[in-house]
Amino acid sequence: MRSRYREKYYVCGDYLELNVYPVYKTARYRRRKAKATSECQQKVNQMNAENKCIRLAHANFNQEDMKVDLTYDNGHLPGDDEAAARELANFFRRVKRYRASKELPELKYIAVTEKGKRTGRYHHHLIISGGLSPQEIISLWGKGYVRTDGLQFNENGIADLVKYILKKSVASGKRWNASKNLIHPEPKQRDGRLSKRAVQELAKDPENNREYERYYDGYYLAEARRVYNDINGGVYIYARFYKKEAEFCREKKRSRSRCSNGQSLQR
């Protein structure tokens, strides 16, 4: 069966997400589509949801933004999923009004609601726009304990953080929700640039950074994974890259420069 390889990729801020997979010629007579097992489909759905959320996070947030955890004290515990969703929506409305009063940019957020398996207590895990102090967020929440942290990016951006908070999503059927003003990266694709032989060479060693970076100028490889399909013999590659001039790289360079001349060292 003849095929060519397709590169489907997304540019998300300082990061590039890549999928390489075989595309086969349309058969003269259509075969019945094989039905995926529920277990397999569940894994695919989980991976797709994670990747979409990671793309949104990288396209819309940077080191000036924040991770926020919201909990409830005993006097404000919501009784069910709908009540927890209302409390979170009301919090976002208060934050939006407050930001507008301070003439800050419109709020952006990604939110995951967790319900403790043992205690049944609700928590909210958020990635939100920066600009407010921890004390301001505590005051605007007013329902319990608040934890805030600045977003810390590395070679994989904040992919690990996104995967972590998505695993906490057990409150309802929807794994996460986001503000409507987020930028949604559009996929780009090209066919035939990578030959079957080139893809097989890349798949042999997912840690061969130099070989991957040869095809994606201006980027460093962060991670690569490969899957072999025993049925059609195809090779599937998923990879994430970061720009050589990514902001977290510039921050590291500035930090090293300050330390080298002694100006940033504190006793």
Tens digit of pLDDT for each residue in 94-105?
A: 999 999 999 999
pLDDT higher than 50, residue 68: yes
Token pair, residue 216, equals: 């994606």
- Asked if pLDDT for residue 107 goes beyond 50, the answer is yes
pLDDT for 247: 86
| Dihedral sign, Cα of residue 249, residue 250, residue 251, residue 255 | positive
CATH 3.30.1390.10 describes domain 66-150: no
pTM for the whole thing?
0.82
Instruction: Report how many helices (DSSP H) and strands (DSSP E) the chain contains, helices first.
Output: 7, 10
With a cut of 50, say whether residue 262 has pLDDT above it. no
Average pLDDT, the chain: 86
CB 42 within 8 A of CB 108: no
Cα distance between residue 255 and residue 261, in whole Å: 10
CB 229 within 8 A of CB 45: no
- Percent with pLDDT over 70 in the chain: 82
Q: Which pLDDT value is given to residue 261?
A: 44
DSSP 76: G
Q: What is the predicted pLDDT for the residue at 259? A: 46
DSSP calls for 53-105: HHHHHHHH--TTSEEEEEE--GGG--SSHHHHHHHHHHHHHHHHHHHHHTTPP
What is the distance between the alpha carbons of residues 182 and 107, in angstroms, rounded to a whole number? 10
DSSP state, 122?
Answer: E
39: pLDDT strictly greater than 70: no
d(CA 225, CA 51): 14
**134-178: pLDDT as tens digits:** 999 999 999 999 999 999 999 999 999 999 998 877 655 567 899
Which residues does residue 154 pair with via DSSP β-bridges, in sequence order?
157
